[in-house]
Amino acid sequence: MKLLVMGPPGAGKGSQSKKLVEEYDLTSISTGEMFREAYKRGEKLGIEAMEYIKEGNLVDDDITNEIVYQRLKKKGPDSRFLLDGYPRTVKQAEALDKMLADIGSRLTAVINIVVDYDAILERMVGRRVCKSCSETYHTMFRPPNVEGVCDVCSGELYQREDDKPASVKNRLNIYESKTRPIIDYYKGRGVLVNINGMQSFEAVYSDIKRALRELRHD
């Protein structure tokens, strides 16, 4: 099984992916992690990529494609994986198709978690995290007993920089302009599955599993 999970920031992509990786015994291929590792090893690709990441930009398509290709070649056509953070542009999606064809393979499914942007904004800007134990709260949906204080350890709650409205809006804009077009690219290729993300974690996960059962070829 070769999966790609898509959805805007805040759609719950990360936690759904984590559960899929565990249950279906997949390798998680994360470009962010591969770049950090290559950087630590002092490789040219890693050093170049870090320059983009430090500035908060998407890493150049050629650099990103190259690091994924190296990994896919090493794994071979029978590997089972879930792609995390890649592809992020249509150019990357096209390159991915070519790489997979090259090693005699193709994606099993592209899971698209569909959510309402206003709801995401509300969900993310209300999030508060404990400075001491990292417990997560929400000003509306899961408020602490005492405002600003962690129920678990009495630590101070704060709002992460990337949960602030301007940052969330910026990330949603980047997603809308650069990443969302990938969904159109996969439409009509028989691999795209739209999942309603405006439900509980469990309901979203069970919808994904049902869709995979219907699609599964390998």
* Binding segment toward Zn ion, per CB under 5 A, in 56-64, 70-78, 145-153, 200-208: 145-153
Q: Which is nearer to Zn ion, 56 or 148 (CB)?
A: 148
Structure tokens at 27: 């390798």
Rounded to 10 degrees, the C-alpha dihedral 61/62/66/68 comes to 10
Tell me the closest approach of the beta carbon of residue 130 to Zn ion, in angstroms: 3
Structure tokens at 121: 């904004």
Q: Specify whether the CB–CB gap between 136 and 14 falls below 8 A.
A: no
CB atoms within 10 A of CB 10: 23
Q: Specify whether the CB–CB gap between 3 and 107 falls below 8 A.
A: yes
Contacts of 81 (CB under 8 A, 6+ apart): 2, 3, 26, 27, 28, 29, 75
> Is 88 one of the annotated active-site residues of the chain?
yes
Encoded one letter per residue, x for contact with Zn ion by CB under 5 A and - for no contact, window 100-129 reads ------------------------------
Tell me if 133 contacts Zn ion by CB under 5 A.
yes
The active-site residue, picked from 71, 171, 178, 180, is: 171
Tell me if 146 contacts Zn ion by CB under 5 A.
no
Tell me if 135 contacts Zn ion by CB under 5 A.
yes
Question: How many residues touch Zn ion (CB under 5 A)?
Answer: 8
The active-site residue, picked from 2, 13, 123, 128, is: 13
> Is 36 one of the annotated active-site residues of the chain?
no
Q: Please pick, from the candidates 26, 45, 130, 192, the single residue that binds Zn ion as defined by CB under 5 A.
A: 130
* Binding segment toward Zn ion, per CB under 5 A, in 106-114, 146-154, 163-171, 189-197: 146-154
Q: Whole-angstrom Cα distance, residue 202 to residue 206?
A: 6
Q: Is 96 strand, coil or helix?
A: helix
Tell me the closest approach of the beta carbon of residue 159 to Zn ion, in angstroms: 15
Encoded one letter per residue, x for contact with Zn ion by CB under 5 A and - for no contact, window 152-171 reads xx-x----------------
The active-site residue, picked from 160, 164, 187, 210, is: 160
Q: Whole-angstrom Cα distance, residue 24 to residue 205?
A: 13
> Is 41 one of the annotated active-site residues of the chain?
no
Residue-by-residue DSSP string for 152-185:
TT-PBEE--GGGSHHHHHHHHHHIIIIITHHHHH
> Is 127 one of the annotated active-site residues of the chain?
yes
Q: State the DSSP code for 142.
A: B
Residues classed as catalytic: 13, 88, 127, 160, 171
Interface with Zn ion (CB under 5 A) = 130, 132-133, 135, 150, 152-153, 155
